[in-house]
Structure 1
């Protein structure tokens, strides 16, 4: 294990290396690390091409950039007068178009969706938030949290659009849960699946 960590420390992201390997059944076993700075023109051209940014443009939503390590397209949008990240997965064109339909509908009706998402989160999580409030020894005694107060404290950080109208929203918790993120999943048909905290 120690030897593996030493080898990993010698490798650099997006570099060309020479390895000695032994072929196994459906896998390769590293025998030795020969060179961490191999010079090869053809491989260098392939590496440079792979490093170029990839964009996807949508007339309504703007230009997305591919986050290669996650296979997600990302852009910044305005949601309820605040910046918010919008994502969709790198998939075949048909599913991309379906995800973008989901995103467009959310954007076109964002005032309604913003209220619905926050209301669902508040109704699902207010009792948990009250429990957390009661356990906060550092805070002065506060009035009991209301649904309206809960909704006014949370704000959208990112929105992930999926095919078939599915979406997932990450919200800043407004310190209701001491900095944990609130995740809400739903569908543009008006149904919500779950609201929970994470992180």
Structure 2
């Protein structure tokens, strides 16, 4: 009954202005890293970056300015030492997950028997998808698995102080 009372063609000017404002893109500019765009449904700012000759996405959370600045300090430190971080993150992932990858390789009945997977092969097969930075030096790196885990993503969590917390597969 209520639906029959409402004129579906009516427009409320105040609501229309709110809708238009909400649909406008939101940007955040960092002098070093450039301009990020807000992914509103996720409350994340994102930007495409170059990381060790790979294109990937860099994300940080929509928070108060102090935490945003702290997250961007994390990103800047990672970006300034990309080669070192790329190598150490991939090495950590390989060391943590190589046994699991070998188990998956053995379970793949459709594939011909392959030579045993090495750490270097593991590291060369994975490719960076995205980098998520947080306050207090925390970060997460998401890698395409190079079909080591049949299309699952590899996630490595760490801190710019050089410690790694975890490496696992998801998805």
Q: TM-score over 0.5 for the alignment?
A: yes
> 2:103 and 2:168 mapped to 1: Cα distance?
14
Distance 1:180 1:36, change over 3 A: farther
Q: How many residues align?
A: 170
Instruction: Out of 59-68 and 185-194, give the one that drifted further.
Output: 59-68
TM-score normalised by L of structure 1: 0.82
Look up the match of 1:44: 16
Runs (4 or more) in structure 1 with deviation over 4 Å come to 31-38
Look up the match of 1:56: 28
Q: How big is the shift at 1:95?
A: 0.3
Look up the match of 1:158: 130
1 or 2 for the larger relative contact order (CA 8 Å, sep ≥6)?
2
Match status 1:138 vs 2:110: yes
Match status 1:189 vs 2:158: no
Q: Equivalent residue of 2:57, what SS?
A: strand
- What runs of 5+ residues in structure 1 fail to find an aligned partner? 1-19, 21-30
Match status 1:79 vs 2:51: yes
Q: How big is the shift at 1:105?
A: 0.4
Q: How big is the shift at 1:126?
A: 0.2
> 2:81 and 2:170 mapped to 1: Cα distance?
27
Instruction: Out of 35-44 and 144-153, give the one that drifted further.
Output: 35-44
> 1:51 and 1:112 mapped to 2: Cα distance?
40
Distance 1:107 1:131, change over 3 A: same
User: Over aligned residue pairs, what C-alpha RMSD do you find?
Assistant: 1.6
List per-residue Cα deviations over 1:28-73 (Å, max 9, x = no partner): xxx9995665410111011101111000111221110000111100
Look up the match of 1:102: 74
Bigger CA radius of gyration: 1
